[in-house]
Structure 1
Amino acid sequence: MLSVLATVPVEMGGLGGAVVYIDTESAFSAERLVEVAQNRFPGHFISEESLLQLTSRVHVYHESTSSQLLKRLQTLEEDIIEKKVKLIILDSVASLVRKEFDSRTSQNLYERTNLLAKEAAILKYLAESFYIPVVVTNQITTRFGFNLSEVDVMEKEDSVTSSENGYVTAALGNTWSHSVNTRLIIQYLDDRYRQILIAKSPVAPFAAHEYDIQDKGIVLKCNGARQYEGTDPGLQQIRVRTSLQKECFPT
């Protein structure tokens, strides 16, 4: 949905530019891009020409290794200028490093931290230099015990487990969480609705927005945002589909 919003004209609430979408999980769907566009702006995307213009403005790069990703980030400045990029999406920053670096060894953890720091520095430079938003997705993981040992999950979120001895949280640890300016946590509420938590922001307090996903993308519930009550949401367990099923259908 963000890709669609970035490409539509400013007078329609968009950014009127192009998008760089870096896909490390092979999750990008051109079909879904078109579906969201046609349902969110039915009066604008009514012809094949308008849809071709949309897809031509979304530049997708598939990177399969950390070194390829770093090289791509280092060359993005030219792309931003030439293609009039108004949004950068990296989906996800966690995928490649979790496959390539075993965080249980100190040397690998050191190398992983350094690599993530380089990527964060480049993305911040691009955002600040060109005044464009950069959206980066993380993954979730299960941590156990007081030593915060981690079980990395490389597959879909249903594989993540939550139990009395472990809890689901964001991957990559505190170092990465401190690298971002704004941090949003997306979690399940029930079978239909999900929730966006503002866990970190330079301009907003902790808050929660409920939403569901429709043909036109994310749709917020009409009751608006509510203030988040409790401790830092970034320190709380993330609610995933598996845990909701256990709560709704106890055995």
Structure 2
Amino acid sequence: MDSIQVPTLPYLSQAQKSVLKKGNVQTVADLLLVPQDLGRRCRISPLEAKSIFNTVCQNNSPQIRSLSDVGDDAEQVFSTGDSYLDGALGGGLRTGMVWEVFGQSAAGKTQMALQLSLFVQIPISMGGLSGSACYITISSNLPTSRLLQIMEAHPQLSPEICNLENISTIKSPTIPILIQILSKILPDLIVAKANDPKSKPVRLVVIDALAELFRSDDKTTTGTLVDRSQNIVEISTLLHSMASKYNLAVLVLNEVTDVFGRDQDETSPGGDLSYKQQSRWFGGGDSVSGESNKEASLGLVWANQVNVRIMFSRTGRRRYLEDSVNSKRRKGVDGASLSGSSNTDTEPDDGPTLIRRMSVIFSSIAPPCSFDYIVTAAGISAVPDDDILSPPERNFLPTQEEARDDEIPATAMGSQVAPLDVGSAEHDAQPETLDTTSAEDEEWENYWNTDSIPEEMYSME
């Protein structure tokens, strides 16, 4: 029923079919997914839009199907390239769904998207979908050099099974352009690739990063919030329609906002929980120190549009890992490490590795969970607890350069340690080696040592 073309519907008049065509409503699925925006898209009155919607619903009741008849319409799953991460996500990335990955800058969101753009290309027998990807950027360019590095460094990838030719990219600097891409340009590309026997069908669409479209210097008013909500709903409708119609996965990268005063004003005047208190269950994680101070951008409207929400966090922690994990970290292009990014692990091979945190906030196919991961030359790699080793018998404090790379002062590293982080570099540090003198204390000490005020001034009444 969802794939039935609107021009073939006998119970719609020619005039109704014409206005639906102007609104780019091509199938029954397109029409049923946009009931609120049907009038605006087709430039018709709300009453006429409601009449068309009701007519289609009455004449297209759902039919029960046998699983043997589902065939290619069934959801498909492809690997992320890491078996532990696949298990946490319910087997991998599933088609027909909208996935969201949000987090701080340099947490690894783009690394995840690039990795998936390659793994969707590998054969089905190896965990992929033998498909291609479409990567939509907002303000940046697609980092092709990083794609090549992941392809060369990851043991499951090779130029014979994946390449840059199967990744299409387009930039969308404004909301109207993104809507045009999702409603016209991208569907045409998907159909063209599906009909070309020499091309791989599109199985993954990435938007990097959606929140950048909604940055504005204009004053926030009720009108601007309403406009933003309408744009988010329209974009979400197009994404879900595309994911369902073409059986592909949609990955949307998002940013974070700071959360202040969550422990205050726990209830509203009516006795109900406030939004701040409710948002802790769907807006962010709380598995490590400081993670609860961030939540996903775009608010409640967007939170209701995604099937899976995943949070990436920078922790400032470092751990000693087993050789099996370190070997992944050391593998790069011609032995080179990652370059031009704060994700780089530039420590010696026997040193601790920079750790980040991944949390599945909610998912329709897997339970919430949280675990550590590292960013390597080969992409994202999960770090199970059994890969943690006790540190060597030596003290370790990060250098100022290492602390600056992750934007966390060296003196603050200890405050980022989770209670169960046994085996971390901070856990090994001896208390006497830590300099607890703050810059403010030193400033006041220098002031009083150089005090030139006469003593009689202190005795004046």
The TM-score, its normalising length taken from structure 2, stands at: 0.43
Cross-structure match for 2:187 = 77
Q: How far off its partner does 1:245 sit?
A: 6.1
Cross-structure match for 1:247 = 412
Q: Using the alignment, how far apart are the partners of 2:357 and 2:411 within structure 1?
A: 18
Q: Among residues 356, 359, 366, which one is paired with 1:197 in the alignment?
A: 359
Cross-structure match for 1:16 = 130
Q: Using the alignment, how far apart are the partners of 2:298 and 2:132 within structure 1?
A: 29
**Residue 300 of structure 2 is aligned to residue 174 of structure 1:** yes
Q: Using the alignment, how far apart are the partners of 1:22 and 1:120 within structure 2?
A: 15
Q: Using the alignment, how far apart are the partners of 1:246 and 1:173 within structure 2?
A: 34
Q: How far off its partner does 1:62 sit?
A: 0.8
Q: Using the alignment, how far apart are the partners of 1:109 and 1:213 within structure 2?
A: 36
Cross-structure match for 1:130 = 246
Q: Is 1:188–1:244's contact at 8 Å kept on the other side of the alignment?
A: no
**Residue 140 of structure 2 is aligned to residue 26 of structure 1:** yes
Where 2:120 maps in the other structure, the secondary structure is helix
Aligned pair in 2 of structure 1 residues 126, 144: CA closer, same or farther (>3 Å)? same
Q: Using the alignment, how far apart are the partners of 1:88 and 1:23 within structure 2?
A: 11
Aligned residues: 215
Aligned pair in 2 of structure 1 residues 66, 105: CA closer, same or farther (>3 Å)? same
Q: Using the alignment, how far apart are the partners of 2:364 and 2:165 within structure 1?
A: 34
Q: Among residues 192, 195, 214, which one is paired with 1:97 in the alignment?
A: 214
Superimposed CA distance per residue, residues 215-234 of structure 1 (whole angstroms, 9 cap, x where no aligned partner): 1100111448xxxxxxxxxx
What letter matches 2:213 in structure 1?
Answer: L
Q: Using the alignment, how far apart are the partners of 1:2 and 1:64 within structure 2?
A: 23
Cross-structure match for 2:165 = 56
**Residue 151 of structure 2 is aligned to residue 37 of structure 1:** yes
Q: Using the alignment, how far apart are the partners of 2:358 and 2:409 within structure 1?
A: 16
Measured on the aligned residues, the alpha-carbon RMSD in Å equals 2.8
Structure 2 stretches lacking a partner, 5+ long: 1-114, 194-200, 266-273, 277-288, 319-353, 387-405, 415-435, 439-461
Identity of aligned residues (%): 24
What letter matches 1:54 in structure 2?
Answer: N
What letter matches 1:88 in structure 2?
Answer: V
Aligned pair in 2 of structure 1 residues 222, 105: CA closer, same or farther (>3 Å)? same
Where 1:141 maps in the other structure, the secondary structure is strand
Cross-structure match for 2:55 = none
Q: How far off its partner does 1:247 sit?
A: 3.5
The TM-score, its normalising length taken from structure 1, stands at: 0.76
Where 1:135 maps in the other structure, the secondary structure is strand
User: Which of 1 and 2 has greater Rg?
Assistant: 2
Aligned pair in 2 of structure 1 residues 5, 42: CA closer, same or farther (>3 Å)? closer
Q: Among residues 365, 377, 380, which one is paired with 1:218 in the alignment?
A: 380
Aligned pair in 2 of structure 1 residues 222, 100: CA closer, same or farther (>3 Å)? same
* Runs of 4+ more than 4 Å apart: 145-149, 241-246
Which structure's residues are more often strand, by fraction?
Answer: 1
Aligned pair in 2 of structure 1 residues 20, 101: CA closer, same or farther (>3 Å)? farther
